[in-house]
Amino acid sequence: MTIHDSPQTFVREDDGATLRIHGSAIGDRVYSGAITFFAVCVPLLLLAVAWELGVAGWPALHKFGFGFLTSSDWDPVKGEFGAAPAIYGTIVSSIIALALATPLAIGVSLFLSELAPRWLKQPVGFLVDLLAAIPSVVYGLWGIFVLLPVLRDPVMPFLRDTLQLDRTGLFSGPAYGPSMLAAGIILAIMVLPYIASVSREVLMAVPRSQREAALALGATRWEAIRGAVLPYARSGIVGGVILGLGRALGETMAVTMLIGNRAEIATSLFAPGYTMASLLANEFSEASSDAHLSALMAVAFVLFVITLIVNAIARWLVWRVSRGTSGRVA
Amino acid sequence: MTRSLVVPEIMPRVRVSALDAYFGSAHAVKGVSMRIVDRQVTAIIGPSGCGKSTFLRCLNRMHETVPTARVEGGVELDGRDIYARDVNAIAVRTHIGMVFQRPTPFPTMSIRDNVAAGLRVLGAARPSRAQTDEIVEKSLVRAALWNEVKDRLSTSAIGLSGGQQQRLCIARALATEPRVLLLDEPTASLDPLSTQAIEELVYALRRDTTIVIVTHNMQQAARISDSTAFFLNGELVEMDTTNDIFTAPRDARTEAYITGRFG
C-alpha cells in the first residue's frame, strides 16, 4: 500500500476538510466573543466601584463641599468631617517612600543587570522579589518591634541634634517613634521590590548593541551605563517608579500600624499623621452614624480619584519620556 | 635604476601575530597573523561563523567584553602591543573606532550629541563646546551626511533612515580621529542604495584612514578593498591584494569560495 491511497489521506480530502473549516469559524466567533466580554468586564468593574463610592460618599461631599478636602477637622462625635490630614499624609508618606526607594531600587537593578556575576544574579534577584511576598501586617509588626525602636534611638535624635536638621522644621519635635517618617520608611521597603523588578527587566532588555556602541567609543563601563543604558531604559524605569507609587498610595495595614493615626497636619516628619487608607481601616468597622459612613465613603472616593490622577500623570510622563525612544532603531 | 624598484618594507599600521580567540572552550580564531597597511581598505571575507567578526573585535579589544571570551597572541598598533599589561583597553578603543552590523545610534540623543558621544568620554582631552561643534561638522562631512542633516542637528537621531543612521555611526566613530576604523558588515542591514552610499564613503575615507571591513558580500570586497583576507573555520586561509585574491587565488578553498561553490 502506498502512502497516497492510505485511508487517512481520503478522510482529509473528503468531508474532513469542510468540517474543519466550518468548525474553526464558529470557534473564532465564540473565542472573540468571550475575550471581548472579559475585556469589557474590567472597565465596567472600575466604573461600578467609582459609582458605588461616589453615591455612598455624596451626602458628605455635598454637605461639606470643597471644605471636605481642605478642612483638618475630623470629629465623628460632633459630625465634622475634613479629610485634609489624611490626604496630606497619603501624599507625603508616598513621597518619602519614593525618595528613599527609587535610588536604592535603581542601584540594585543596575547591579543585578550590569555588574553581578552570574551566580549571584539569581539569588539576589529572588530575594529582592521576595520582599513583595511578605504580608503587609508582618511589615507592620517588624516596624513596631524593630524599626520604631531604631528610629527613636539613634536615628531621630541623630537627624535632629547631630545633623541639626531641626532647623528645617522637617526633623524636629519629640522622637516618639510612630510617625510620618516611620510610615514612609516602611512604604519604601514595601515598594522597593516593584521598582527594582521592573527596572531590572527594563535594563536587561537594553540591546547589547547599545552597550557595545558606547564601549567601542572608548567609554568605561560606568560611562556606557550612564550614557547609553540608563537613557535607553528611562521610560521603563519611570513606569516602575509609578507602579511603586500606586502601591504606596493605597497601602493600609503596615502604615496604620506605624503612622500614629492622628488627624493633624504637622510639618515635622517625626510627628504622627494619618493616611486615607489607614483612616478607612481604623474607623470603618466602628462607624455608626450615616454621616460618618458617608464621610468614609467620600474619603475612599477621593483616594480612588487621586490614584487615578497619579496614574494618568504617570502615563503622560512615560509617554513624554519615551517619545524620544519610541521611534525606529534599526 | 633597479634599486628604486625594490619595494621598501613598509611599517604596517596594525600587525597581528599568532592570534587565538576563544568563547569559553570554542576556538573561534586560530593562530591568525596579518599585516594591515596604513591608508588602505582591508577586507575580510568568509562564510558565516568563520571567525571574521571575532577577529575584527580582537583588534580593538571588544572581544573581551563578552563573558568567557579569551584572547591569546599579539596585536600591535603602530608598533605598540595593545594587549600589553600596561595598556588600557578603554584607551585602545578611542584609537581604533568600530561600526557594527546594525546601526546603533543612541536613541535618546540628538544627531549632534550622537556624533559628539565619543568626545565626551575623552577626559582631559575633551574639547570645548565650540571645538565640539567644529568636530561634529567635520565628522559629518567626512561621513557624507552633513548636507542631509545640517538643518536638524538637534533632532533625534532615530528620525534618520537606516543608511543615514549607519553613516551617523561612522561619523561618530570618526569624531575621535581613530587611527584605524573597523567596520563589521556595515551594510548587512541596508538596502542597495544605502549600501552604495556607504561603499562610496569607505572608498573615499581610504585617503586618510586605515579601514578594516568584514563583509560576507564578495562583490563588495572586490569593489572597495585594496587587500582581502579569506577566513575559513577560524583560520586565515589566504591574504593578498584584492585583485590577486579574486583573479588568481593560490588556495583551492579560496577559489571554491569566491566562485560560489560554498558559503
B169 contacts in chain A (CB < 8 Å):
213
A216 contacts in chain B (CB < 8 Å):
60, 62, 93, 97-98, 100, 173
Rounded to whole angstroms, how far apart are CA atoms B197 and A303?
59
Structure ipTM: 0.89
What tens digit of pLDDT does each residue of A282-309 get? Answer: 999 888 899 999 999 999 999 999 898 8
Q: Which pLDDT belongs to residue A18?
A: 53
What tens digit of pLDDT does each residue of B168-182 get? Answer: 999 999 999 999 999
What tens digit of pLDDT does each residue of B138-165 get? Answer: 999 999 999 999 999 999 998 999 999 9
Q: Which pLDDT belongs to residue A23?
A: 54
Q: Could you tell me if A171 and A151 are in contact, meaning their C-beta atoms sit under 8 angstroms apart?
A: no
What tens digit of pLDDT does each residue of A135-171 get? Answer: 999 999 999 999 999 999 899 999 999 998 888 889 9
Q: Which domains occur in chain A, in start order?
A: 67-322 (1.10.3720.10)
Q: Which pLDDT belongs to residue A11?
A: 46
Q: The domain at B38-60+86-258 falls in which architecture?
A: 3-Layer(aba) Sandwich (3.40)
Is the pLDDT reported for residue A59 higher than 90? yes
Rounded to whole angstroms, how far apart are CA atoms A73 and A60?
14
Secondary-structure breakdown of chain B: helix, strand, coil percentages, each rounded to the nearest 5: 40, 25, 35
Residues 6 or more apart whose Cβ sits within 8 Å of residue A268: A169, A170, A171, A172, A173
Residue in chain B lying closest to A231 (CA)? B108
SS3 A228: helix
Q: Which pLDDT belongs to residue B171?
A: 95
B108 contacts in chain A (CB < 8 Å):
231-232, 234, 324-325
Selected residue of B54, B121, B156, B191 to mutate for chain A interface (largest A Cβ count, 10 A): B121
SS3 A160: helix
Return the minimum-mean-pLDDT range out of A90-104, B88-102, B116-130, B240-254. Answer: B116-130
Tell me the DSSP string of B241-258: EHHHHHHS-SSHHHHHHH
What tens digit of pLDDT does each residue of B182-218 get? Answer: 999 999 989 999 999 999 999 999 988 999 999 988 9
Residue ranges of domains in chain B: 38-60+86-258
Instruction: Kindly report the pTM of this predicted structure.
Output: 0.81
Q: Could you tell me if A115 and A296 are in contact, meaning their C-beta atoms sit under 8 angstroms apart?
A: no
Q: Which pLDDT belongs to residue B6?
A: 53
Cell 595593545, residue located: B82
Q: Would you place residue A314 in the very low, low, confident or very high pLDDT band (cuts 50, 70, 90)? A: confident
- CB of B152 within 8 Å of a chain A CB? The answer is no
Query: What mean pLDDT is predicted for residues B16-45?
Result: 94
User: Which residues of chain A approach chain B closer than 8 Å at the C-beta?
Assistant: 118, 209-210, 212-220, 223, 227-228, 231-232, 234, 324-325, 327-330
- CB of B254 within 8 Å of a chain A CB? The answer is no
For the record, the C-alpha cell of B215 comes out as 563583509
For the record, the C-alpha cell of B18 comes out as 599568532
Helix ranges (H only) for chain B are: 2-5, 52-59, 89-95, 111-116, 129-142, 146-149, 162-174, 192-205, 218-224, 242-247, 252-258
Is the pLDDT reported for residue A12 higher than 70? no
